Chain A
Amino acid sequence: MRRRKWLTSALVHLLLLLSVVVVAAPVVFAFIFSTQTPAEIFRYPPQFTIGSALRENYSIVWNQYHLGLYMKNSFYISVAVTVGKTIVSFLAALALVYFRFPLKGWVFTFILLTLMMPTEIMIVALFELVTNIGWSNSYAALIVPFLASATGTFLFRQQFQQIPVSLVDAARIDGAGPLRFAWSILLPMSFNVVAAMGVIQFVYMWNQYLWPLVIIRDSSKQVVQVGLRMLTSGQDATNWGIVTAGAIVALLPALVVFFLLQEQFSRGFALAEEK
């Protein structure tokens, strides 16, 4: 019996290790070949060791292919949306939870329905609209349409509802108005939601592809994901060292965020499910 238990456990470990290796393999291979020259990549058999072009490939994608610039653009946009969306959603949830006002049910439905409207579905009309406003080729096009969201509003709404009613009553009796209450009690008590939402939103914006692809034509304003596309299509004979180096550079920030802030990540997921 004990022997059998040991065997099962060994088998589970083996299967898990195998899975972990298979999951990691694409990125590990990409990293190895991102350090090799075209000649090294095409030799037979391939060498699974660090090649001689590590610095060269990465400096080419960073400078010549402007991935450094695109990363900076992506970073600004993601931070702007994350901060903006947090504030806008916080205020909306404040109104929904702590105020009595007419038509609240309708307001709620109005926000809820937008869950069914991802950007991709209206991409043609959104393109026309943003172009007519005169925002094509601008950061505004990548930021403003994403500043409000049903998800964010509902995450905060849910968090506020879990805070004891006695707190707001006490605040009111002490003469604290709604804004004062929001700032000095609600906000500090909602930091975990702020963090969880921030992480999810940041990664979501960082990973955007289709919308920047169609609305940004001026390549100096492009984001890093679309920058990757230029690496794969911009040359006659593809230099795979460059492509893989680009992929590694572009995946690093999201991966670092993920490993550093795992807890917020998982929490953000859990919240998104409950909403």
Chain B
Amino acid sequence: METHAAYKSRWLPWILLLPTFVILLVFLYYPTLETFRLSLYRVAFLGLRKTFVGLANYRELLTSPVYHQVFLNTAIYSFLVVFFSMAIGLFLSVLANQRISGRSFYRLLLIWPYALSPAVAGAIFLFLFNPQAGIVNYFLQAFFKIQPDWLGQPRLALGVLVAAAVWKNVGYNVVFYIAGLQNLPGDVLEAALIDGATPWQRFWRITFPLLSPMTFFLFVMNTIYAFFDTFPFVDLLTQGGPNGATNILIFSIYRDGFRFLKTGMAAAESVVLFVGVVLLTILQFRLGERRVHYGG
């Protein structure tokens, strides 16, 4: 078998790997394990006083209505963000992949918000949805005579957070879905065309199933985005309010850990989130290996 591993040296590969080892051990492995340990303690800030409490923090996560709401919020919020980011992304990709002039121009103008940071998007949406100065309410007043208090109503506030997160992330999905569409086997689609399938049938019976590996990959990436990268939206727009309606797990970890100084609780919540990420990763590897290949 051909191999790239042409060199042999007892110590050189380890020296080359040393920086990676040190950083990963000290700043990734150690803090991850330490998070598990901290979750079994009730800690006064900065670890000055630690009391071992066993699984008490987890018991509180399971029994307290506050945390029930956090889990529910996280589930609803993540579902909405993932669903709309991907659905809109797929729709725009199909549009931008038609045989029309200016395709690459449209593609570029559809994906650029992906380069923006969540904090920038958050600040902009904070202004857009401000009840008095915001431009959204100006249009709603002009056309429908309503002026909702966007960030004061639980459901509306969650909706604004979803809108901001989706707006920023649609471009990512467009990039991948367009790539996926361009790599589809042309002969299958042509055969369907000859057999007289309508565009609607062709999309749902052929294109969409063929895109399923891409859809699955994007599902994982969008979920990770909704879990972690959306922190700035909550922090800038709602602070978890009103009445805890937008308090999602990542914000709750921050608040417990750095404002309420309940380090142990924050660690236990982190462990829950970690389990979620591990499950997603396992799923990705499992299904990723069994990618369905159609045609040649």
Interface size range of chain A in the complex = 35 or more
| A121→B106 CA distance, assembly (Å) | 37
Q: Using Cβ atoms and an 8 Å threshold, which residues of chain B touch A9?
A: 98, 100
Q: Using Cβ atoms and an 8 Å threshold, which residues of chain B touch A101?
A: 8-10, 13-14
**A23, B4: Cβ atoms under 8 Å?**
no
**A203, B115: Cβ atoms under 8 Å?**
yes
| A98→B113 CA distance, assembly (Å) | 39
Q: Using Cβ atoms and an 8 Å threshold, which residues of chain B touch A213?
A: 235
CB distance from A61 to the nearest CB of B (A): 11
CB distance from B8 to the nearest CB of A (A): 5
8 Å CB contacts to B: which residues of A109-134?
A: 110-111, 114-118, 120-129, 131
User: Quick one: given A99-B12, A165-B4, are A120 and B112 in contact (CB under 8 Å)?
Assistant: no
> A69: CB under 8 A from chain B?
no
CB distance from B158 to the nearest CB of A (A): 18
| A249→B27 CA distance, assembly (Å) | 32
**B254, A214: Cβ atoms under 8 Å?**
yes
We find that the number of chain B residues with CB closer than 8 angstroms to chain A is 92
**B19, A91: Cβ atoms under 8 Å?**
yes
Interface of B is mostly: helix
**B17, A95: Cβ atoms under 8 Å?**
yes
Interface mask (B1-40 → A, CB under 8 Å = 1, otherwise 0): 0111111111011101101111110111111101100100
User: Quick one: given A12-B95, A26-B167, A120-B231, are A95 and B115 in contact (CB under 8 Å)?
Assistant: no
| A42→B138 CA distance, assembly (Å) | 10
8 Å CB contacts to B: which residues of A70-118?
A: 88-89, 91-92, 94-101, 107, 110-111, 114-118
> A172: CB under 8 A from chain B?
yes
Q: Using Cβ atoms and an 8 Å threshold, which residues of chain A touch B6?
A: 98, 165, 168-169, 172
> B175: CB under 8 A from chain A?
yes
> B67: CB under 8 A from chain A?
no
8 Å CB contacts to A: which residues of B242-256?
A: 250, 253-254
Interface mask (A182-221 → B, CB under 8 Å = 1, otherwise 0): 0000000000000000000001001101100110000000
CB distance from B131 to the nearest CB of A (A): 12
Find B232's partner among A45, A107, A123, A225 (CB 8 Å cutoff). Answer: A225
**A160, B4: Cβ atoms under 8 Å?**
yes
Find A207's partner among B23, B95, B109, B119 (CB 8 Å cutoff). Answer: B119
**A273, B176: Cβ atoms under 8 Å?**
yes
User: Quick one: given A12-B100, A123-B254, A258-B112, are A128 and B4 in contact (CB under 8 Å)?
Assistant: no
Question: Which of chain B's residues has its CB closest to A107's CB?
Answer: B17
| A226→B235 CA distance, assembly (Å) | 11
Q: Using Cβ atoms and an 8 Å threshold, which residues of chain B touch A42?
A: 132-133
> B52: CB under 8 A from chain A?
no
Find B4's partner among A92, A161, A247 (CB 8 Å cutoff). Answer: A161
User: Quick one: given A124-B253, A240-B133, A247-B123, are A144 and B16 in contact (CB under 8 Å)?
Assistant: no
> A15: CB under 8 A from chain B?
yes
**A125, B38: Cβ atoms under 8 Å?**
yes
> B274: CB under 8 A from chain A?
yes
> B130: CB under 8 A from chain A?
yes
Q: Using Cβ atoms and an 8 Å threshold, which residues of chain A touch B277?
A: 116, 118, 121
CB distance from B261 to the nearest CB of A (A): 10
> A27: CB under 8 A from chain B?
yes
**B112, A259: Cβ atoms under 8 Å?**
yes
User: Quick one: given A99-B12, A111-B20, A123-B254, are A16 and B106 in contact (CB under 8 Å)?
Assistant: yes
**6 residue pairs, one from A and one from B, having the closest CB atoms:** A207-B117, A148-B23, A258-B115, A145-B27, A122-B31, A125-B34
11 contacts between A and B (CB under 8 A): A88-B20, A100-B8, A114-B29, A117-B274, A120-B273, A122-B34, A123-B254, A125-B31, A125-B34, A128-B47, A258-B115
Given pairs A23-B109, A30-B127, A101-B10, 4 additional interface contacts (CB within 8 A): A30-B124, A101-B14, A177-B7, A254-B115
